[in-house]
């Protein structure tokens, strides 16, 4: 029989304040509910996540301003040598693994800011690219990055407890990790009849990273593949963010925590001419993190299903598979 969570038409909603409250019972309940959701459907909605309404509104407004600029101006921030890891990435450049049809989107990447001159990650990551025209875009994306990175660290502590690890197991592994804040514009589709039959705003995929934290998008469209094969819409309330398991966490836990396939579908025909904006934060560890399956997640009923790899090796492989790296 399918579990109750697997048949939900909406994802569970949890309050991060329960984990940080200092109340041991509330903290443990949060851990159990988060772990159960990630074991079953791979997605939760989180309240009290640290992002203020003011920051969210200002960020979406400036992201919209950036993408409304002329194509030629945006393209000056697109640097192919960076494999889409910083700055602007143009339309149709990314596609789902296993597909060759480009997604109907363009986006901007803001990456890690390493302040410690002695941390080797400072030399590994490319520098962030700033918009000359919109200084507030630079400031707000970096502020949101730091806020969501902190929230992600707290969620990883809850995950560590659920997995029977030390609460701070992930802290050093994600310190100055290779995380990305992606500001996405799903552009208007002016001539839908000219599209390839399989062209969608974001093809069905699993995220590459440990966990993803998604600020509420400006329109509907996100769908998750339920384990009974049904696609269900995911819409967070204004005060929530959606947080899901990525492929790196799935590998680490030998599929105990599920990286669920999701997609962004095209709008109804009457809304094809409208834009959709979305801002996910992809939480990555440092490149040297060992993603070999945890011994505690392997037993006779759950044999090891993934080959050993590091976060850096896995990221490189996936960037090639989705078309951002040649």
Residue 4 lies in a domain: no
Structure tokens at 171: 């802290």
Helix (H, G, I), strand (E, B) or coil at 185: strand
Residue 1 lies in a domain: no
Residue 8 lies in a domain: no
Residue 6 lies in a domain: no
Residue 141 lies in a domain: yes
Residue 210 clears pLDDT 90, i.e. is over it: yes
Residues 276, 264 contacting (CB under 8 angstroms): yes
Domain membership of residue 65 as a residue range: 17-321
Spell out where the chain has E strands.
Answer: 13-15, 43-47, 87-89, 106-111, 180-186, 202-205, 211-215, 222-225, 231-233, 240-245, 262-264, 276-283
**pTM of the model as a whole:** 0.94
Residue 205's φ and ψ, nearest 5 degrees, are -160, 165
Residue 201 lies in a domain: yes
Cβ atoms within 10 Å, residue 136: 14
Confidence (pLDDT) at 11 = 80
Residue 5 lies in a domain: no
Residues 2, 310: Cα–Cα separation, whole Å: 34
CATH of the domain at 250: 2.60.120.330
Residue 236 clears pLDDT 80, i.e. is over it: no
Q: What is the mean pLDDT of the chain?
A: 93
Domain count, the chain: 1
Residue 11 lies in a domain: no
Confidence (pLDDT) at 10 = 67
């Amino acid at each position: 029989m399918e579990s109750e969570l697997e048949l939900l038409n909406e994802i569970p909603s949890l309050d991060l304040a329960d984990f940080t409250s200092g109340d041991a019972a509330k903290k443990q309940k949060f851990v159990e509910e988060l772990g159960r959701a990630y074991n079953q459907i791979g997605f939760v909605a989180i309240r009290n996540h640290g992002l203020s309404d003011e920051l969210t509104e200002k960020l979406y407004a400036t992201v919209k301003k950036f993408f409304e600029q002329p194509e030629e101006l945006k393209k000056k921030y697109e640097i192919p040598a960076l494999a889409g890891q910083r700055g602007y990435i143009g339309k149709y450049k990314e596609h789902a693994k296993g597909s060759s049809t480009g997604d109907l989107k363009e986006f901007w990447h803001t990456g890690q800011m390493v302040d410690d001159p002695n941390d080797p990650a400072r030399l590994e990551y490319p520098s962030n690219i700033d918009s000359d025209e919109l200084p507030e875009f630079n400031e707000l994306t970096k502020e949101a990055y730091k806020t969501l990175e902190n929230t992600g660290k707290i969620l990883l502590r809850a995950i560590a407890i659920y997995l029977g690890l030390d609460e701070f197991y992930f802290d050093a592994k994600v310190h100055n990790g290779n995380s990305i804040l992606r500001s996405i514009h799903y552009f208007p589709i002016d001539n839908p009849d000219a599209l390839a039959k399989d062209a969608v705003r974001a093809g069905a995929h699993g995220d590459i990273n440990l966990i993803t934290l998604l600020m509420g998008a400006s329109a509907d469209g996100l769908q998750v593949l339920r384990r009974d094969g049904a696609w269900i819409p995911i819409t967070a309330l204004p005060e929530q963010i959606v947080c899901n398991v990525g492929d790196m966490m799935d590998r680490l836990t030998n599929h105990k925590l599920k990286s669920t396939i999701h997609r962004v579908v095209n709008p109804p025909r009457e809304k094809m001419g409208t834009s959709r904006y979305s801002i996910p934060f992809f939480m990555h560890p440092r490149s040297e993190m060992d993603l070999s399956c945890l011994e505690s997640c392997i037993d006779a009923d759950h044999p090891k299903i993934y080959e050993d790899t590091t976060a850096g090796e896995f990221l490189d492989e996936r960037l090639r598979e989705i078309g951002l790296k040649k």
